[in-house]
């Protein structure tokens, strides 16, 4: 078994505020292998982006990594001094954010930005770096790159800008790319092009990709494995086909049923009552229990650990083979609360 | 046959996007116009949900704003319940009609006054149209409306910031219902919400439609949501409707090449692993749209005629290739 490119072990991220310590990430563990795309899904506030920021060491005070380990190709990176971490960022981990305009400097031609990044991370000469920049632009599908390289960011459309950002992330040939909602700001027809590009890059270069998004469709099309996050924890992680088509965790099941699809008719969408708890009021035990149709007493006190189930891992007592009552609760559902209103 | 509830005829809206006069004089340059909406016509029957779907810049929100009267059209006509929204002569009748038309916006943060308590926000249309007299009766009605959208009557004492996004959208819906609206224009009502909350709001909107016989004009860029909500759908591209058809038909047998491309581009949660037509190009600049059919630079079926003539909307699609049978028609399922 080869070593994973990224290995996150029991990660905890806290934000210290006047009203107490908020646990944004609470015990998250996962691996990403070479050439693999791990999709991280969840609703707003689930902790997807904070996980991404923690990996690249960009958690600003009052936030802090309160525990756990992050390993990149066998070396630990969560405890590096800021100066060392800056070398890892960009060189070994590339980043793509939702809004390409904030990742590009509006006052510099994109060629200058690419050449600067290439020269920071490699020892190519200026002319070699420019040739490399043109190659990269061609690789991400920008037409006439030798001409476009001298354009300013505002001269590119949204989709083309996101391609430039991807080229920028590829400059130093990183082992891992963290893409945080890379297609959310784009129209569907452009989104499809960007997804295809990311998939191709992962395949051809063997880059591991952590794809953070709230869009299950994007995950289903792109990812090899999926982690479903809820209230700062991973509810379920497993191969994309299993999680999307046969989700185990009641939250993952509700989430999949809530998405209207093109393929089937549904009179009513599955609705999960209530909404995600605030970080200041995460329920004890399983954080999902107040919204869960299967929850019983154990769920309100005992926090479920990730349990292996097939090729997946699921943090839910329903799948605990040592609990004799679990199976009965599996079949039993409480009448779903009609309209979801959290008090 | 009775006339449709909403009739939109040849609606156009042109925005002047020229540089200021002095800059034009000094630097040269022509006046520039952006045709945001260019000859859009459709009908909506009472109790139906008609959806307009399209990518950004297609003009769908501009149509919505013209239909409710927030934006005067450059030309064309909107008639709702037999009253012209554009004819100056019908001003008095229009005033009476206004109450029955409401709009729900994408961003519930921006569309609710942050300094007002929710009960005052919901009571405002009741007071403005003098629907109910007496504070007590109004308070009861507000409580009733809050219950209707799945909130508690006591929630009326809170300010908008105390609610989550989904709950705020419920408040916006309660406000729309406060004036006993019949026709609600919804501009991307769930785009700012998470999927599980989005499902709650979409279910609520359908329940209210069944209960009160509401008519919806539903604007969205999300095809899956449109499929779930709409009885009929118009697909917009660069200010024109390129295809109009019944909900099921559009998804089972899309006609226009743009609709086909759009449907194909939607990420597929069903994971059928189908072969897809790769998407080509992006929406051109609307200030300087291509002549003829505006989709021709991206269309695999385009020929000389498509580059020259604007195709009329016939047989449900505005496409020469469809009219000339140059394109294989998928069998209607």
pLDDT digits (tens, 9 = 90+) for B268-283: 676 555 556 666 777 7
Most confident region among A316-330, B239-253, B280-294 by mean pLDDT = B239-253
Considering only the beta carbons, identify the residue of B150, B151, B279 that sits closest to A192.
B279
* Region of residue A295 (phi > 0: left; psi between -120 and 50: alpha; otherwise: beta): beta
Considering only the beta carbons, identify the residue of B195, B206, B269 that sits closest to A220.
B269
Whose CA is closest to A255, among B195, B282, B314?
A: B195
**Which positions in chain B touch A337 (Cβ < 8 Å)?**
none
Contact of B145 with B178, CB cutoff 8 Å? yes
Q: pLDDT higher for B140 or B23? A: B140
**Which positions in chain A touch B263 (Cβ < 8 Å)?**
262
Output the pLDDT for position B275: 59
Taking only residues 117 to 146 of chain A, the set having a beta carbon closer than 8 angstroms to any beta carbon of chain B reads none
Q: Cα distance from B151 to chain A (closest Cα, Å)?
A: 6
Considering only the beta carbons, identify the residue of B150, B271, B278 that sits closest to A341.
B150
Query: What ranges do the domains of chain A cover?
Result: 247-339
Flag whether residue A272 sits within 8 Å of chain B, measured between CB atoms: yes
Contact of A23 with A277, CB cutoff 8 Å? no
**Which positions in chain B touch A271 (Cβ < 8 Å)?**
196, 199-200, 203
The CA distance from A138 to A136, in Å, is 5
Burial of B63 (0-12, 13-18, 19+ CB in 10 A): buried
Flag whether residue A339 sits within 8 Å of chain B, measured between CB atoms: yes
Q: What is the pLDDT of residues A281-308, one digit of tens each?
A: 889 999 999 999 888 889 999 999 999 9
Q: What is the pLDDT of residues B57-80, one digit of tens each?
A: 888 999 999 999 888 999 999 999
Q: Do A189 and B276 touch (CB under 8 A)?
A: no
**Which positions in chain B touch A339 (Cβ < 8 Å)?**
149-150, 200, 204
Q: Do A259 and B223 touch (CB under 8 A)?
A: no
The CA distance from B140 to B157, in Å, is 13
Probe site for chain B from A155, A189, A293 (most B CB atoms < 10 A): A189
**Which positions in chain B touch A192 (Cβ < 8 Å)?**
264-267, 276, 279
Output the pLDDT for position B318: 92
Nearest residue in B to A270, CA atom: B199
Provide mean pLDDT across the span B180-195.
89
Sequence-ordered list of residues with C-beta below 8 angstroms from that of B314, at least 6 positions apart, any chain: B323
DSSP state of A34: T
Q: Is the pLDDT of residue B12 over 90?
A: yes
Considering only the beta carbons, identify the residue of A43, A159, A189 that sits closest to B194.
A43
Considering only the beta carbons, identify the residue of A159, A271, A341 that sits closest to B152.
A341
Q: What is the value of pTM for the model shown? A: 0.82
**Which positions in chain B touch A48 (Cβ < 8 Å)?**
none
Average pLDDT, chain A: 87
| Binding-site residues on chain B for chain A (CB distance < 8 A) | 55-56, 149-152, 164, 166-167, 194-200, 202-204, 206, 221, 223-225, 227-228, 251, 261-272, 276, 278-279, 282-283
The CA distance from A256 to A259, in Å, is 6
Q: Do A190 and B282 touch (CB under 8 A)?
A: yes
Provide mean pLDDT across the span A226-236.
94
Q: What is the pLDDT of residues B204-257, one digit of tens each?
A: 999 999 999 999 999 998 888 898 899 999 999 999 999 999 888 888 889 999
Considering only the beta carbons, identify the residue of A190, A220, A270 that sits closest to B267.
A220
**What are the start-end ranges of the E strands in chain B?**
6-16, 33-44, 49-53, 75-80, 83-84, 101-104, 183-187, 215-220, 232-237, 240-246
Q: What is the pLDDT of residues A161-197, one digit of tens each?
A: 888 999 999 888 899 999 998 888 788 878 888 888 8
Write down the ipTM of this complex. 0.74
Contact of A174 with A92, CB cutoff 8 Å? yes
Tokens of B297: 């630079």
Whose CA is closest to A68, among A77, A60, A56?
A: A77
pLDDT band per the 50, 70, 90 thresholds, residue A334: low
Q: Do B204 and A339 touch (CB under 8 A)?
A: yes
Q: Do A338 and B150 touch (CB under 8 A)?
A: yes
Q: pLDDT higher for B46 or B55? A: B46
Flag whether residue A270 sits within 8 Å of chain B, measured between CB atoms: yes
Q: Which residues pair with A308 in a beta bridge?
A: A313
Range A22-26 contact pairs with CB under 8 angstroms and sequence separation of 24 or more: A22/A279, A22/A280, A23/A66, A23/A232, A23/A279, A23/A282, A24/A50, A24/A63, A24/A232, A24/A279, A25/A50, A25/A51, A25/A54, A25/A232, A25/A233, A26/A231, A26/A232, A26/A233, A26/A282
Q: Cα distance from B94 to chain A (closest Cα, Å)?
A: 36
Q: Do A189 and B282 touch (CB under 8 A)?
A: yes
**Which positions in chain A touch B227 (Cβ < 8 Å)?**
260, 262
Strands A208-212 and B33-44: unpaired
Considering only the beta carbons, identify the residue of A221, A263, A271 that sits closest to B199.
A271
Tokens of B200: 């709650």
Sequence-ordered list of residues with C-beta below 8 angstroms from that of B28, at least 6 positions apart, any chain: none
Probe site for chain A from B254, B267, B287 (most A CB atoms < 10 A): B267
Provide mean pLDDT across the span B131-145.
92
Flag whether residue A62 sits within 8 Å of chain B, measured between CB atoms: no
Nearest residue in A to B281, CA atom: A190
């Amino acid at each position: 078994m080869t070593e994973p490119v990224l290995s996150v072990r029991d990660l905890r991220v806290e934000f210290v505020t006047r009203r107490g310590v908020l646990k944004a990430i609470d015990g998250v563990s996962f691996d990403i292998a070479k050439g693999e795309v791990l999709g991280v899904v969840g609703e707003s506030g689930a902790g997807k982006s904070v996980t991404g920021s923690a990996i690249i060491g960009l958690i600003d005070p009052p936030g802090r990594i309160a525990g756990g380990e992050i390993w990149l190709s066998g070396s630990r990176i969560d405890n590096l001094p800021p100066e060392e971490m800056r070398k890892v960022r960009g060189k070994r981990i590339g980043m793509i954010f939702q809004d390409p305009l904030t990742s590009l400097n509006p006052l510099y031609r994109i060629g200058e930005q690419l050449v600067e990044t290439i020269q920071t991370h490699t020892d190519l000469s200026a002319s070699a770096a420019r040739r490399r920049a043109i190659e990269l632009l061609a690789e991400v599908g920008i037409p006439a790159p030798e001409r476009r390289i001298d354009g300013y960011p505002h001269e590119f459309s949204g989709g083309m800008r996101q391609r430039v950002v991807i080229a920028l992330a590829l400059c130093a040939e990183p082992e891992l790319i963290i893409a945080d909602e890379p297609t959310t700001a784009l129209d569907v027809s452009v989104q499809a092009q960007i997804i295809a590009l990311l998939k191709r890059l992962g395949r051809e270069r063997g880059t591991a990709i952590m794809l953070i998004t709230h869009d299950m469709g994007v995950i289903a099309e792109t990812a090899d494995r999926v982690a479903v996050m809820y209230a700062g924890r991973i509810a379920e992680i497993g191969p994309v086909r299993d999680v999307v088509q046969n989700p185990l965790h009641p939250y993952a099941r509700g989430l999949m049923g809530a998405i209207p699809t093109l393929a089937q008719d549904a009179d009513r969408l599955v609705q999960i009552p209530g909404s995600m708890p605030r970080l200041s009021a995460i329920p004890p035990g399983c954080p999902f229990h107040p919204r869960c149709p299967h929850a019983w007493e154990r769920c309100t006190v005992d926090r479920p650990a990730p349990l292996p189930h097939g090729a997946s891992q699921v943090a839910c007592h329903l799948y605990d083979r040592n609990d004799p009552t679990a199976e009965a609760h599996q079949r039993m559902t409480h009448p779903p609360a009609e309209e979801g209103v959290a008090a | 046959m009775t006339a449709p509830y909403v009739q939109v005829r040849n609606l156009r809206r042109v925005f002047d996007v020229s540089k200021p006069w002095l800059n034009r004089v000094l630097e040269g340059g022509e006046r520039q116009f952006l045709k945001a909406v260019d000859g859009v016509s459709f009908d909506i029957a009472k109790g139906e949900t008609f959806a307009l779907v399209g990518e950004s810049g297609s003009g769908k929100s501009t149509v919505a704003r013209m239909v409710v009267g927030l934006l005067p059209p450059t030309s064309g006509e909107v008639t709702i319940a037999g009253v012209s929204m554009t004819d100056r002569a019908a001003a008095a009748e229009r005033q009476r009609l206004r109450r029955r038309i409401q709009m729900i916006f994408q961003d519930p943060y921006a569309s609710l006054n942050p300094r007002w308590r929710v009960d005052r926000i919901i009571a405002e249309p009741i007071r403005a149209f003098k629907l109910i007299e007496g504070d007590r009766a109004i308070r009861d009605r507000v409580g009733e409306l809050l219950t209707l959208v799945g909130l508690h009557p006591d929630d009326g004492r809170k300010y908008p910031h105390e609610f989550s996004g989904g709950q705020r959208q419920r408040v916006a819906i309660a406000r729309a219902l406060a004036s006993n609206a019949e026709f609600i224009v919804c501009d991307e009502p769930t785009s700012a919400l998470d999927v599980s909350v989005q499902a709650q709001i979409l279910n609520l909107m359908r329940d209210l439609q069944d209960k009160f016989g509401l008519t919806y004009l539903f604007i969205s860029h999300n095809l899956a949501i449109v499929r779930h909500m709409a009885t009929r759908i118009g697909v917009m591209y660069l200010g024109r409707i390129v295809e109009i058809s019944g909900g099921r038909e559009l998804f089972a047998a899309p006609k226009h090449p743009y609709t086909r491309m759009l449907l194909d581009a939607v990420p597929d949660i069903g994971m059928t692993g189908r072969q897809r037509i790769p998407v080509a190009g992006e929406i051109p600049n609307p200030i300087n749209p291509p002549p003829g059919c505006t989709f021709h630079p991206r269309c695999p079926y385009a020929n000389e005629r498509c580059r020259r003539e604007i195709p009329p909307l016939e047989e449900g699609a505005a496409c020469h290739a469809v009219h000339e049978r140059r394109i294989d028609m998928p069998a209607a399922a």
